[in-house]
Amino acid sequence: CSDDLTHRMKGNTVMNEWERYEGVRHCRYVDEVLSDAPWTITPEFLEKHKIDFVAHDDLPYSSTDCDDIYKDIKAAGKFVPTKRTEGISTSDLIARIVKDYDVYVRRNLARGYTAKQLNVGFIHV
């Protein structure tokens, strides 16, 4: 999904739209990446784009107007459940970065980034 849609439906992202597309494009099971996909995928969308299946973890993924955005895909038999790896999630990564924020800022300043690039006003020494 686009940055605009993802930010509206889920919130800010760590990777931008292009980085997410490239990450998926380099998965060996992906033949093609469709940019700016809709938030909720329908069986008609799959048929139109000749998509074999949708892979996501099996937990219901709710949205503002739906209890599980993959409900219709599951019912159509086009859903392949994946397993989450404990400790590997955007939320966990952000928590680790925030926890060690000072370390990462100092490291990047030492590597030549400016305080402006890192959006830091000051850092205690």
Tell me which residues of the chain have a pLDDT lower than 50.
none
Residue 81's pLDDT is 93
The structure's pTM equals: 0.71
> Cα(122)–Cα(119) distance, rounded to whole angstroms?
9
Helical H segments across the chain, by residue range: 3-9, 17-25, 43-48, 71-75, 90-99, 101-110, 115-118
Q: What's the CA gap between 51 and 74, in Å, rounded?
A: 14
* DSSP-based three-state secondary structure for 10: coil
Q: Closest Cα partner for 109 from 93, 96, 125, 90?
A: 125
Query: Looking at residue 33, what is its pLDDT?
Result: 93
Give the model's pLDDT for residue 49: 94
pLDDT of res. 46 = 92
Instruction: Give pLDDT, residue 125.
Output: 57
Structure confidence at residue 9 (pLDDT):
86
Cβ–Cβ under 8 Å, residues 68 and 94: no
